[in-house]
Structures are given as C-alpha cells and as structure tokens.
Amino acid sequence: MSGSTIFTDVRTALKNDPGVMAIAKEVYQGRPSSEAPYPYISIQAVGGRPLVHFDGEDALQNILLQIDCWGLDLDTTHSLHYAAKPVLNGPMNNGTKLTYTEPGLIDDFDGDARCYRSLSRWSAWGH
C-alpha cells in the first residue's frame, strides 16, 4: 500500500458523494492552479510515514492528511466542510479509515480574492 491508495480512496469517496458534489466543483489532490473554479476541496499529506517492524515494512500505513474546503464566501465554505465531514468519517475502499484530529478552522486566506478556507486534519490509516 502506498499513500497514493489512501489519496485515491479519500478523493473517490468525496467525489462519489452527491451532497459534497452539489457544492464542490472538484476535489483535487494537492492545491490546484489559481484558475481553478471555486468552491473545491484539496487534499494533501502533511505528515506520516510507513510503519516499520523488525521484520520489515508493514502493509499498514499512516498519513496525516490536510483536507481544505475552499470557497468565495463563508457560508459556502462552511457548507462544503460540513458536507465532507460525514463522508470522511465513513467506510472507504481498501480498508482506509480516517480519524478526525483537528477541527475545521476558517480563515480569510486571500483578502484580495476574498477566498475562504476551512482546514481540517485527519489521520488516515490504510493497507
């Protein structure tokens, strides 16, 4: 298992949820270009590593994911965050399991563009 399987599982779960996609235009791995239309979700690894035992690398991996919901207004950003959270708490393919580690934080990321972000961190476990 590699981190790419965890990313695929998380991205697929979000993209297959009608509540999330009723709000988001896309779900990206990493931050998209500045021309990407809002609102959207971006997923990136911000920590974690493979588990290693005396007999070698284990198939179980742990990655700290940062999942950001981006929007041009606060209400849309909040709505996208709250639509995504139950999907991330649910079962995913390949045994991927996420645990909520930090609550969503809303910040005014770009004052000129009036772009809002809701940041949450998840501990992702997978095989």
Kindly report, residue by residue over 82-110, the tens digit of the pLDDT: 999 999 887 777 777 888 777 767 776 66
Classified as helix, coil or strand, 42 is strand
Taking a C-beta distance cutoff of 8 angstroms, is the pair 126, 5 a contact?
yes
Q: What is the pLDDT of residue 12?
A: 92
What is the topology classification, in CATH, of domain 3-126?
Answer: STM4215-like (3.30.2000)
**Other C-beta atoms within 10 Å of 106: how many?**
15
Classified as helix, coil or strand, 111 is coil
Of 21-35, 39-53, 79-93, the least confident: 39-53
Nearest to 13 by CA among 88, 108, 103, 116: 88
**In the structure encoding, which two tokens stand for residue 40, read together?**
């959207």
Q: Which residues, other chains included, contact 90 with Cβ-Cβ below 8 Å and sequence gap of 6+? A: 13
**In the structure encoding, which two tokens stand for residue 94, read together?**
């390949």
The whole-chain average pLDDT of the chain stands at: 83
With a cut of 50, say whether residue 1 has pLDDT above it: no
